[in-house]
A and B are shown apart, each in its own frame.
Chain A
Amino acid sequence: NAGVTQTPKFQVLKTGQSMTLQCAQDMNHNSMYWYRQDPGMGLRLIYYSASEGTTDKGEVPNGYNVSRLNKREFSLRLESAAPSQTSVYFCASRERGGVETQYFGPGTRLLVL
């Protein structure tokens, strides 16, 4: 049981390049989330998917797109990376209803030069 997995673990991009961060969960959770974590800013929600087939913007969606490929997978795409997108990105998943326990992946460290 791997929980929430993220690839890649670390990536360096040049300004203007694009990339997709991958996330998968094997807990049969309905809801999935993408966060970024920056020093002094805490965890900020980028996008989330309450269920397969739906996606919604979070607090900081500009510059990002997401795809809920199926129930297991939720990807985050940077179309034209900017230095301001240098951050640690975390994917999380959650069962719907009841205790609102979110399980987090190990994170992707992104550096945009």
Chain B
Amino acid sequence: QKEVEQDPGPLSVPEGAIVSLNCTYSNSAFQYFMWYRQYSRKGPELLMYTYSSGNKEDGRFTAQVDKSSKYISLFIRDSQPSDSATYLCASNSGNTPLVFGKGTRLSVIA
């Protein structure tokens, strides 16, 4: 079992929908939680990060971590066609290398 599990999708939603992307992790030592966005044929880029449990909001994006259930979520409000990409969750315990989920491919249909 990988330390970070993520449903690869694909996920297809209409424009304006609320999108929920989720990951689970198994390593209790993980404290940093990231979401990366990867457009087709590009490198991943950091979208959001959180430290330990809690929520973090940035515009239409909200990242949520529940350490008690080892659950990581990313919510996208008012989704746009430009949000169509692969979203990767990642985590680590500090200076250790990031462990990535497999990524979820999202399509937002106009």
**Interface check B61, CB cutoff 8 A:** no
Question: For B44, what are the chain A residues with a Cβ–Cβ distance below 8 Å?
Answer: 43, 90, 104
Tell whether A106 pairs with B49 under 8 Å between CB atoms, given A48-B97, A100-B32. no
Quick one: which of B42, B49, B97, B103 contacts A99, CB cutoff 8 A? B49
Please tell me if the beta carbons of A106 and B42 are within 8 angstroms of each other in the complex.
Answer: yes
Classify the secondary structure of B's interface with A.
loop
Q: How many chain A residues touch B (Cβ–Cβ < 8 Å)?
A: 23
Tell whether A40 pairs with B43 under 8 Å between CB atoms, given A100-B32, A100-B49. no
Please tell me if the beta carbons of B8 and A50 are within 8 angstroms of each other in the complex.
Answer: no
Please tell me if the beta carbons of B102 and A42 are within 8 angstroms of each other in the complex.
Answer: yes
Q: How many chain B residues touch A (Cβ–Cβ < 8 Å)?
A: 22
CA distance A106 to B44 in the complex (A): 8
Please tell me if the beta carbons of A43 and B88 are within 8 angstroms of each other in the complex.
Answer: yes
Please tell me if the beta carbons of A42 and B42 are within 8 angstroms of each other in the complex.
Answer: no
Question: For B97, what are the chain A residues with a Cβ–Cβ distance below 8 Å?
Answer: 33, 45, 48, 58
Q: Which residues of A contact B (CB under 8 A)?
A: 4, 33, 40-43, 45, 48, 50, 58, 90, 92, 96-97, 99-107
